[in-house]
Amino acid sequence: MNKVFFIGLALVFVVSCKSINNSKSEVHPEIGKMAEDVRNETLRSWQAYKKYAWGHDALAPLSKTAKDWYEEPLYISPIDAYSTLFMMGLEDETRLIEAYVADSLNFDKNLDAKVFEVNIRILGGLLSMYELSRNAAVLEKAKDFADRMLPAFDTKTGIPKYWVNLRTGQARGDTVNVAEAATYTFEMGVLSYYTQDPKYYQAGKKATLAIFDRRSEIGLIGDVIDVETGEWVSTQSHICAGVDSYYEYLYKSYLLFGDQELGRLWQESIQGINTYLAEIYNGKLWYGRADMYSGEKTSSRITLYDAFFPAILGLSGDTTRATQLQHSWDYLWKLNGLEPMVYDYKTSASSYPAYDLNPEIIESAYYLFKITGDSSFYKMNAQYWSDIKKYCKTDMAFTSIKDVATKEQKDYMPTFFFAETLKYLYLTFTEDQQSYPFNDYTFNTEAHPFKRSHFDKNLAADYLGFE
Ligand code: DMJ
């Protein structure tokens, strides 16, 4: 009798364990151990945001307080986090964000927002929320937000001013860097496609052409410009922070919408970049700084944002340079187990040694792993993730680092950690190849995904208003 009872009990135990495992794998089939680890850490950090900073822009994980960018919150962390949580299958969380955006989010706020930053995070985030959910109320919010941004583009050159007031449309700030000047074709193009109204893409493209048309005879651009006079304020040419996403959007907007003109701009630009900015130093490929008119090298100071470049080189077909450059960045990461914000590849000095949980080196390793199939790129991301957990993890989330040498922690978890860093790690590690195949998606510079097959090239020409 006892024997039968115990066999029965054992059977119940086996069956119930099986059903626990099954329910886990039903939630997310075949994501693999590493991906599950990233997903668990994402959920843990997200729950910390919800507990201590819900409704605000970002979490300060050490003090367990909320941080806002402006006088009033714009809900930036949830908007930025949405597409990552969605791709990880965290449905309860995405439903919560979607409902808040649709029912409660109101952009009628008397505050001056940074046009560049809110474009890539808020507009880009809302558009991908619509792309993934097809919730019409979310598209309405995105359109409302873009309409509040558009007055900034009303300048003599078409390059937007630095700030725009979300309530009054009053814009200010005549001096902008190139990334702030011309990182709009992607989001504005997506919005034009969804609304079939070309005015958004046309505004973004005008700003991009205003930069490209001011290139020098050797095909280089400066890095800071006056939006009213169109004069270069700084004639230093580079692909670093302050310029980076301008180049990224030439290629990605061409790829997503098929605008050949942007494809041509990319082809012309990359020639100048490879001729004048690339250099081999101590056997490693780097992209430094040069004068836009003479092409003479002016500096070997780079920023960790530049590590986006292997991804875009790889995507555009130059896997040789992409691979070489990624190995240079990998070398730099491994010097300290994290990479510094600013670094001079000739003196090895860092004038700004912080690491803010930035994604770029991880983004490039992900792209190159998918493009080449070479597992050394997978291993790079495994190493970066292990180092991030070692140095940036807190009792409740992750935080930025003041100095990569000392590993002293700051009290801030940037919104792009949710949007980009965790997403690219997850996509590298997941064994689920079905849900989000690499070749089907193009990401904005904040890693918000858009499915290529959703954008018909002929319709795009019509809806966006290009030839
Ligand atoms: C992100 O906000 C975007 O990727 C931007 O284009 C530059 N880099 C930051 C994160 O490092």
In this prediction, residues 438-442 reach a mean pLDDT of 96
CA 239 to ligand 1 centroid distance, Å:
13
Ligand 1 pocket member 269 (CB < 6 A)? no
Quote the pLDDT of residue 6.
41
Quote the pLDDT of residue 244.
98
Query: Which atom in ligand 1 lies closest to the alpha carbon of residue 245?
Result: 6
Query: Which atom in ligand 1 lies closest to the alpha carbon of residue 420?
Result: 4
Residue 10 has pLDDT above 90, yes or no: no
Q: Which of 77, 329, 416, 421 to mutate to test the pocket of ligand 1 (most atoms within 8 A of CB)?
A: 416
* CA 161/CA 176 separation, integer angstroms: 7
Q: Which of 121, 184, 245 to mutate to test the pocket of ligand 1 (most atoms within 8 A of CB)?
A: 245
CATH pick for 3-464 out of 1.50.10.10, 3.40.50.1820, 3.90.209.20, 3.40.50.620: 1.50.10.10
Q: The pTM is what? A: 0.93
Tens digit of pLDDT for each residue in 42-98?
999 999 999 999 999 999 999 999 999 999 999 999 999 999 999 999 999 999 999
CA 358 to ligand 1 centroid distance, Å:
7
* CA 245/CA 190 separation, integer angstroms: 16
DSSP assignments along 373-442, one per residue: --HHHHHHHHHHHHHHHHHHB-SSSB--BS-TTT--B-S-B-HHIIIIIHHHHHHHH----SSS-GGGEE
Residue 458 has pLDDT above 90, yes or no: yes
Ligand 1 pocket member 245 (CB < 6 A)? yes
CA 4 to ligand 1 centroid distance, Å:
63
* CA 71/CA 456 separation, integer angstroms: 41
Ligand 1 pocket member 358 (CB < 6 A)? yes
Tens digit of pLDDT for each residue in 351-373?
999 999 999 999 999 999 999 99
Helix ranges (DSSP H) in 175-243: 178-181, 185-195, 199-212
Residue 26 has pLDDT above 70, yes or no: no
Ligand 1 pocket member 187 (CB < 6 A)? no
Nearest of 153, 303, 277 to residue 221 by alpha carbon: 277
Residue 1 has pLDDT above 80, yes or no: no
Closest residue by Cα to atom 11, ligand 1, is 358
**What percent of the chain is modeled with pLDDT above 70?**
94
Nearest of 154, 156, 151 to residue 169 by alpha carbon: 151
Quote the pLDDT of residue 276.
98
Ligand 1 pocket member 306 (CB < 6 A)? no
Pairing, β 284-287 against β 278-281:
antiparallel
CA 327 to ligand 1 centroid distance, Å:
21
CA 360 to ligand 1 centroid distance, Å:
8
Tens digit of pLDDT for each residue in 32-42?
999 999 999 99
Tens digit of pLDDT for each residue in 241-266?
999 999 999 999 999 999 999 999 99
Q: What dihedral do alpha carbons 325, 357, 380, 267 form, nearest 10°?
A: -30
Closest residue by Cα to atom 10, ligand 1, is 358
Closest residue by Cα to atom 1, ligand 1, is 446
Quote the pLDDT of residue 4.
43
Ligand 1 pocket member 415 (CB < 6 A)? no
CA 305 to ligand 1 centroid distance, Å:
7
In this prediction, residue 29 has a pLDDT band, given cuts at 50, 70 and 90, of low
Query: Which atom in ligand 1 lies closest to the alpha carbon of residue 360?
Result: 11
In this prediction, residue 23 has a pLDDT band, given cuts at 50, 70 and 90, of very low
Query: Which atom in ligand 1 lies closest to the alpha carbon of residue 248?
Result: 6
Closest residue by Cα to atom 8, ligand 1, is 305
Ligand 1 pocket member 446 (CB < 6 A)? yes
CA 446 to ligand 1 centroid distance, Å:
6
Nearest of 411, 393, 394 to residue 402 by alpha carbon: 411
CA 365 to ligand 1 centroid distance, Å:
16
Q: Which of 244, 251, 362, 363 to mutate to test the pocket of ligand 1 (most atoms within 8 A of CB)?
A: 244
410 vs 26, which has greater pLDDT? 410
Query: Which atom in ligand 1 lies closest to the alpha carbon of residue 183?
Result: 6
In this prediction, residue 433 has a pLDDT band, given cuts at 50, 70 and 90, of confident
Return the residue matching tokens 């006892």: 2
Residue 299 has pLDDT above 60, yes or no: yes
Radius of gyration of the chain (CA): 23
Where exactly are the structural domains of the chain? 3-464
Q: Which of 121, 187, 420 to mutate to test the pocket of ligand 1 (most atoms within 8 A of CB)?
A: 420
